[in-house]
């Protein structure tokens, strides 16, 4: 179906070759995951598959790409539409119609299909990504995750023989993710669709027929998921998150490699390992003993709606104390970002009050508020405007009326904290996505706010970038900043947040210490969230561990058991 021979590509006017000789064969109906660090050349590889390279993207292209028996060099991009559908990473730029159904119809219309067939394609493609009820909505007003699903539907509507997806789940909530993957599996079964998918989520890659690892423009490993994903260390070095269950089996030094909580559960039982009550009590005590300062943020009975009749927030109450590390989770469109925008006065509550340090934020000026609550936006590219990294970070403190010397100190501190001090003279737009995200944090940090609110700070980052971002955030929390983080990544919440707020349809569904919230899978499920594998394993064992470390620490290896010899 897809065949690449000796493919090399060098972007016009750019440093190094991005693809350095790729050879790859993908069979019809095969599901292939492509993984690797940022900058490995994954997106570039995708762009060669429907001829965007060499037809629309300039550069030096060598080798040969053949899709459905046609050579990309010889056939224009538009001719490939019925054969291979490409969904880009930047899904917002792919939507240009005024309703969801017209968006889905656009491709089939270009293919000249008759009206009955158009109707069928629209219905079928929207239903397959659970967007059927949004038919008449405007794509521009959908939430990030909804837009992402629509971008996929708009390509599916052409029923391409092969689908190439460049990080299709970055903005989806956990349930949305698994639904989307399920939809793709169904398509493969029903239509024999071939699938190539760039993905950072290792757990999802287990369902693939083949996993490719890419680094610095080359394919460095390929094989079945078990073969390729087994070596956790090598994965981590390549910027790919190791599987929790594999990490666990190697920590426990078992000869078998576990991939799912079910396998791990059986394995642990047959080894006769028990849970150390003492160790678990210690964990719970550690949770209880956490001390926080006074209330810094108080949201009481806040309601807000963008349009009449559809409230985005309903009677939300939330108190945050100094020094807390709080995660806000929930489905796409559940009101998380709307709530965050109330915390620094970008939105004014239509009813209710928001107090920062006991003062109504409606009475504060933006320059005063920015010292109290800093908000880091989801997409760094919407906020970065300076031509130098240093100037970008100096914008906020400059507005606070500080002396140039003070501004300089603040900027230096902030850039130091995010590890960008050496890049201070660079143009932000040449930085990687991870570095731009860090710069966005630095520019907020430089205003020295007590409370830092981060809206999905790890979207689109690879594992290395993600780990360093979380280390940065944790460091800020240790240094006394109160942290509120909106995220879809449940493993991140489990590993880092002391408290978790679950939102659903504009309300707070659950609010408490993370362990307590994660001990209630029913309400998480109600909010369309799923437990990380290690948490779900620990619950099978009768307690709630949040990380592999905690789980290993609570397993009682003292009791000798004859069955443990496998």
Count of CB atoms within 10 A of residue 391's CB? 16
Site string for another protein, 309-348 (x = CB under 8 A): --------------------------------x--xxx--
| Stretch of 101-109, 222-230, 238-246, 474-482 lying at the interface with another protein (CB under 8 A) | 101-109
| Beta-carbon-side half-sphere exposure of residue 44 (alpha carbons within 13 Å) | 27
For another protein, the closer of residues 111 and 220 by Cβ is 111
Instruction: Give min distance, CB of 448 to another protein, in A.
Output: 11
Q: How far is the CB of 458 from another protein (least distance, A)?
A: 18
Kind and range of the H or E element at 297? strand 295-307
Q: Minimum Å distance from CB 178 to another protein? A: 26
| Contacts to another protein from residues 8-47, by CB under 8 A | 47
Name residues contacting another protein, limited to 399-438 (CB under 8 A).
399-400, 429
Q: Which of 177, 188, 166 is nearest to 34 (CA)?
A: 166
Q: Which residue number, 447 or 544, has a Cβ lying nearer to another protein?
A: 447
Instruction: Select the residue interacting with another protein from 3, 43, 62, 99 (CB under 8 A).
Output: 99
Which residues, at least 6 apart from 9, have a Cβ–Cβ distance to it below 8 Å? 17, 18, 19, 41, 44, 48, 53, 59, 60, 61, 62
Q: Smaller CB distance to another protein: residue 1 or 86?
A: 86
Q: Which of 26, 42, 61, 101 binds another protein (CB under 8 A)?
A: 101
Site size toward another protein (CB under 8 A) is: 79
How buried is residue 150: exposed, middle or buried, by Cβ count under 10 Å (0-12/13-18/19+)? buried
Tokens representing 363? Answer: 């009475």
Sign of CA dihedral 34, 35, 40, 42: positive
Q: Are 222 and 211 in contact (CB under 8 A)?
A: yes
Sign of the CA dihedral with 378 first, then 382, 386, and 391 last: negative
Name the helix (H) or strand (E) containing 508.
strand 507-513
Per-state percent for the chain, helix, strand, coil, to nearest 5: 45, 25, 35
97 binds another protein (CB under 8 A): yes
- Closest CB to another protein among 292 and 395? 395
Site for another protein in 133-192 (CB under 8 A): 136, 138, 140-141, 154-155, 158
Which stretch in 48-56, 127-135, 169-177, 353-361 sits in contact with another protein by CB under 8 A? 48-56
Site for another protein in 359-388 (CB under 8 A): 365-371, 374-375, 377, 379, 381-387
478, burial (CB in 10 Å: exposed 0-12, middle 13-18, buried 19+): exposed
CB of 208 to another protein, least distance (A): 23
Contact positions with another protein (CB under 8 A) in 440-499: 443-444, 447
Q: According to the binding rule CB under 8 A, does residue 396 interact with another protein? A: yes
**Residues of span 56-75 touching another protein by CB under 8 A:** 56-57
350 binds another protein (CB under 8 A): no
Nearest alpha-carbon partner for 351 in 321, 317, 328, 320: 317
The one segment of 88-96, 231-239, 290-298, 493-501 that binds another protein by CB under 8 A: 88-96
Q: Which residues within the stretch 529-548 sit at the binding site for another protein (CB under 8 A)?
A: none
* Residues 234-263 within binding reach of another protein (CB under 8 A): none
Residues 110-139 that bind another protein (CB under 8 A): 110-115, 118-119, 122, 136, 138
Residue from 9, 33, 61, 88 in contact with another protein (CB under 8 A): 88
Name every residue whose Cβ is closer than 8 Å to that of residue 119 and which is 6 or more positions away in sequence: none
Closest CA to 183 of 108, 78, 264, 87: 87
- How many alpha carbons lie under 13 Å from residue 180 in its C-beta half-sphere? 27
The arrangement of strands across the sheet holding 295-307 comes to 310-321, 295-307, 351-356, 359-360
> What minimum distance in Å lies between the beta carbon of 125 and another protein?
12
């Amino acid at each position: 179906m897809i065949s690449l021979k000796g493919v090399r590509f060098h972007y016009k006017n750019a440093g190094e070759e991005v693809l350095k000789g790729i050879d790859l064969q993908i069979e019809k109906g095969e599901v292939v995951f492509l993984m690797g660090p940022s900058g490995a050349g994954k997106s570039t590889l995708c762009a060669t598959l429907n001829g965007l390279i060499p037809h629309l993207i300039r550069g030096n292209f060598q080798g040969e790409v053949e899709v459905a028996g046609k050579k990309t060099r010889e056939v224009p991009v538009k001719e490939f539409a019925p054969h291979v559908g490409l969904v880009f990473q930047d899904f917002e730029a792919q939507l240009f119609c005024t309703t969801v159904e017209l968006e889905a119809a656009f491709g089939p219309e270009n293919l000249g299909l008759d009206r009955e067939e158009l109707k069928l394609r629209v219905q079928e493609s929207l239903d397959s990504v659970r967007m059927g009820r949004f038919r008449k909505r405007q794509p521009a007003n959908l939430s990030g995750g909804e837009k992402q699903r629509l971008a996929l539907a708009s390509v599916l509507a052409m029923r391409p023989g092969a689908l190439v997806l460049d990080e299709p789940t970055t903005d989806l909530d956990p349930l949305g993710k698994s639904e989307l993957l399920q939809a793709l599996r169904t398509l493969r079964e029903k239509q024999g669709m071939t699938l190539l998918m760039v993905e950072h989520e290792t757990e999802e890659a287990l369902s693939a027929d083949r996993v490719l690892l890419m680094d610095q423009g080359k394919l460095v490993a390929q094989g079945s998921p078990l073969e390729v994903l087994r070596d956790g260390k090598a994965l981590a070095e390549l910027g790919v998150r190791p599987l929790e269950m594999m990490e666990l089996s190697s920590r426990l030094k078992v000869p078998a490699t576990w991939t799912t909580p079910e396998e791990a559960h059986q394995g642990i039982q047959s080894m006769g390992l028990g849970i150390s009550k003492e160790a678990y009590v210690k964990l719970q005590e550690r949770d209880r003993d956490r001390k926080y300062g006074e209330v810094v943020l108080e949201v009481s009975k806040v309601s807000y709606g963008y349009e009449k009749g559809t409230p985005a927030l309903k009677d939300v109450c939330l108190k945050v104390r100094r020094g807390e590390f709080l995660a806000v989770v929930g489905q796409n469109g559940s009101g998380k970002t709307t709530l965050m925008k109330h915390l620094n006065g970008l939105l004014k509550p239509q009813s209710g009050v928001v107090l920062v340090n006991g003062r109504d934020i409606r009475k504060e000026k933006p320059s005063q508020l920015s010292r109290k609550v800093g908000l880091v936006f989801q997409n760094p590219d919407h906020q970065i405007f300076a031509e130098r990294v240093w100037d970008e970070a100096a914008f906020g403190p400059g507005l606070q009326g500080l002396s140039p010397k003070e501004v300089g100190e603040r900027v230096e501190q902030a850039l130091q904290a995010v590890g960008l001090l050496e890049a201070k003279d660079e143009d932000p737009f040449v930085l990687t996505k991870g570095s731009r995200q860090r710069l966005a944090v630095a520019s907020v940090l430089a205003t020295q706010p007590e409370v830092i609110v981060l809206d999905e700070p790890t979207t689109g980052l690879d594992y290395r970038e993600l780990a360093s971002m979380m280390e940065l955030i944790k460091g800020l929390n240790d240094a006394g900043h109160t942290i509120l983080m909106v995220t879809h990544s449940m493993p991140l919440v489990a590993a880092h947040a002391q408290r978790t707020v679950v939102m659903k349809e504009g309300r707070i569904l659950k609010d408490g210490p993370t362990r307590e919230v994660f001990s209630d899978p029913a309400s998480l499920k109600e909010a369309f969230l799923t437990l990380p594998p290690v948490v779900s394993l620990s619950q099978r064992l009768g307690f709630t561990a949040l990380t592999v470390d905690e789980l290993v620490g609570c397993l009682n290896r003292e009791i000798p058991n004859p069955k443990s010899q496998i």
